[in-house]
A and B are shown apart, each in its own frame.
Chain A
Amino acid sequence: MSGALLSAQGLSRWYGPVVGVNDLTLEVDGGIVGLLGPNGAGKSTFLKLVAGEIRPSRGSVRVLGFEPFANREYFRVLGFCPQQDALYEELDAREFVSFLLRLSGFDAREARSRAERALERTGLADAMLRRTAGFSKGMRQRTKLAAAIAHEPRFLIVDEPLTGLDPLVRTEMIALFQELGREGVHILISSHVLHEIESVTQDILLLHRGRLLAQGPVPEIRKLLSRYPHKVEIHARDARRLARALLELEGTSTVHVAPEGGRLSIETFDLARFHAELPAIAARERAGIHTLESTDAGLDAVFDYLVG
């Protein structure tokens, strides 16, 4: 498909005998995509391949129609915000960002105004004339991000952008990613922290041991994991009465009433049916339902089931 943001065919990269990513075949349409995986899953290798920093050992990857590796044309439309600290400590933030812009071919005046705009967007308007040596972790992260977006890339790669940020800065960064996403910038974000990803996007790529374990919107992935029954928790006044009725329901595999009463957990293989039938059962039994929650529909549970 030519419309895809990113497509990989048998993409592999080894470091000597050590595997980085192994035989990845995938296609991503675009938008904001979360890249997840346990330590050593190959996230960084994948990002470097996509960013054109390293060459595949085997297979190919195309992003926006480009071959990424050492492709100057591609680098014009790519913004890459690496995880490591990569600032020139003796420069101030504006000098740093405009220096990088100069390197990619902008003239001095253009570079300066773009740098200022980018730093304003990342919330560093007041600090852009300070030397980066004295910057806090959050300010460094925002300077790197400004450098990555200053040339208005169509595709932005951010590696662990939220690690170690305080909640205030984190909220601002997430808002910025969402804003960029609305402007039509494709973003690939890697993170260790699942709820961070969940607050930005539903679309994920999940890597494990160098392989692609799952891709797509989280609820869709959860549906594919049909061998795990769906878990639902209900708080109700008369939990036992409700439990009896629910046990009758086709697809229900387990009903567990909490010893203290008032709460029951249900496992069902047919969640759609459960949801369809519940209103009728509730209306009939009058068991006093207070809340109803799927406890394994989120990214946490999906990750657990897949990675184990």
Chain B
Amino acid sequence: MTSASAAPVIEIHELSKSYGRVRALDKLSLRVEGGAVGLLGPNGAGKTTLIKLLLGLLVPDSGSARIAGADPRSAQGRLDLRRAVGYMPESDCLIPGMSAIELVATLGELSGLSHADAMTRAHEVLDYVGLDEARYRDSEQYSTGMKQRLKLAQALVHDPALLLLDEPTNGLDPKGRKHMLELVADLGTAQGKSLLVCSHLLPDIERTCARVVVLKAGHAVLEGSIAELTHTRGRRLRAHFAGALEPLDALLEQAGVAVESRNGNARVLVLPESEGDADSLFALCHRAGVRIESLSQLRSSLEQVFLEGIAREEPA
């Protein structure tokens, strides 16, 4: 596995897959080197098809790919790669009549663990996701949150290098969502797994992933690190003030601070290039008797970036 960790976990070159006349993937190229990557796209963009290809469930029509060192074009490659891939499906799924521990251990054995290894690993991953005593109960009675955790545990049991998480926070309440996001973030950073996370909830992606890929009509329209994509040029700050703002507005004008937009007590300000920090802004507020409640670098949200990326007709 050491050789596999040096190479990218996913390396896809001009991969295409059609169903009849529908082109689900259209010459998609993609590289995932490690860490967590968000896979975004509107419905029908080809995310599901990509996941199935990454699981070796479909045979690509054309193009080449290496997933965890295996080639999905050969039947043996499609089976081999599944040993290095863990999959957490979107929909509720469980094996009828099994407790969590049996389910995870059985699936571990199917991935190639010995019976004893499977039992040890099953307990470890259930500890990791926080399913305690409930692991001995029939999984059909689980709450949504427990089912999600169970699905994550079974994806981890064989310690795969690559995890495919499809809507991991689907249907969770705020507490459950927070816990799940912590686990996903931990897997991507502390545990050194490669993750491909599909989610419709962009803030979840922002919290867990360093990079995103946006699919549209079967190819990637946007790819890169979230920090870069959401970065906007210039020293623009978004500030929320409190107090009477008229004197401040006058002072800002004198000091050469441009007000780009205003909305109630919020302002988007462009500081002069000579200012390395916002100390003089605080000084102006002090003089005007205005409080600053928050001050942040203006970034576009991932949502804006996503919507703009989707709106673009063709990738440049």
Physical contact A–B (CB less than 8 Å): yes
Pick from A193, A292, A300, A304: contact of B201, CB under 8 Å: A193
A38 to chain B, nearest CB (A): 4
B41 to chain A, nearest CB (A): 8
A182 to chain B, nearest CB (A): 16
Please encode chain B, from 287 to 316, with 1 for each CB lying within 8 Å of some chain A CB and 0 for all others.
000111111110000010011001000000
Q: Are B174 and A300 in contact (CB under 8 A)?
A: yes
Within 8 A of B (CB), among A258-308: 272, 275-276, 278-280, 282-283, 286-294, 300, 303-304, 307
Residue of B nearest to A273 (CB): B291
Within 8 A of A (CB), among B272-294: 276-279, 282-283, 285-286, 290-294
Q: Are B278 and A290 in contact (CB under 8 A)?
A: yes
Q: Are B200 and A287 in contact (CB under 8 A)?
A: no
Q: Are A138 and B283 in contact (CB under 8 A)?
A: no
Q: State how many residues of chain A have any CB contact under 8 Å with chain B.
A: 43
> How many angstroms from the CA of A276 to the CA of B243 in the assembled complex?
10
A192: B residues at CB distance < 8 A: 171-174, 177
B64: A residues at CB distance < 8 A: none
Q: Are B290 and A279 in contact (CB under 8 A)?
A: yes
Q: Are A283 and B170 in contact (CB under 8 A)?
A: no
Does chain A have a CB within 8 A of B175? yes
Does chain B have a CB within 8 A of A195? yes
The stretch that binds B, out of A4-12, A69-77, A148-156, A159-167, is A159-167
B307: A residues at CB distance < 8 A: 167-168, 171
Does chain A have a CB within 8 A of B67? no
Does chain B have a CB within 8 A of A237? yes
Does chain A have a CB within 8 A of B145? yes
Does chain A have a CB within 8 A of B242? yes
Does chain A have a CB within 8 A of B247? no
Does chain B have a CB within 8 A of A209? no
A226: B residues at CB distance < 8 A: none
Best-buried of A39, A237, A272, A287 by chain B (most CB within 10 Å)? A39
A58: B residues at CB distance < 8 A: none
Residue of B nearest to A139 (CB): B43
A107 to chain B, nearest CB (A): 37
Q: Are B173 and A39 in contact (CB under 8 A)?
A: yes
B130 to chain A, nearest CB (A): 16
Does chain B have a CB within 8 A of A170? yes
The answer to whether residues A278 and B292 also contact, given A38-B174, A39-B143, A166-B42 and a CB cut-off of 8 A, is yes
B279: A residues at CB distance < 8 A: 282-283, 286-289
A286: B residues at CB distance < 8 A: 279
Q: Are A283 and B291 in contact (CB under 8 A)?
A: no
B294 to chain A, nearest CB (A): 5
Please encode chain B, from 38 to 56, with 1 for each CB lying within 8 Å of some chain A CB and 0 for all others.
0011111000000000000
The answer to whether residues A291 and B303 also contact, given A195-B203, A279-B290 and a CB cut-off of 8 A, is no
B310: A residues at CB distance < 8 A: 168
B285: A residues at CB distance < 8 A: 279
> How many angstroms from the CA of A164 to the CA of B44 in the assembled complex?
14
The answer to whether residues A290 and B277 also contact, given A167-B306, A168-B307, A282-B282 and a CB cut-off of 8 A, is yes
B53 to chain A, nearest CB (A): 20
9 residue pairs of the A-B complex, CB under 8 angstroms, read A37-B173, A39-B143, A136-B43, A163-B171, A167-B303, A280-B286, A286-B279, A288-B276, A291-B278
Q: Which 10 A-B pairs have the closest CB atoms?
A: A282-B282, A279-B286, A283-B283, A275-B291, A279-B285, A288-B277, A292-B295, A38-B173, A279-B282, A166-B42
Given contacts A192-B173, A283-B282, A303-B174, 20 further A-B contacts (CB under 8 A): A38-B174, A137-B43, A163-B170, A167-B40, A167-B202, A167-B306, A167-B307, A168-B42, A171-B303, A192-B174, A195-B201, A236-B277, A272-B291, A279-B283, A282-B279, A282-B282, A286-B279, A291-B237, A292-B293, A294-B294
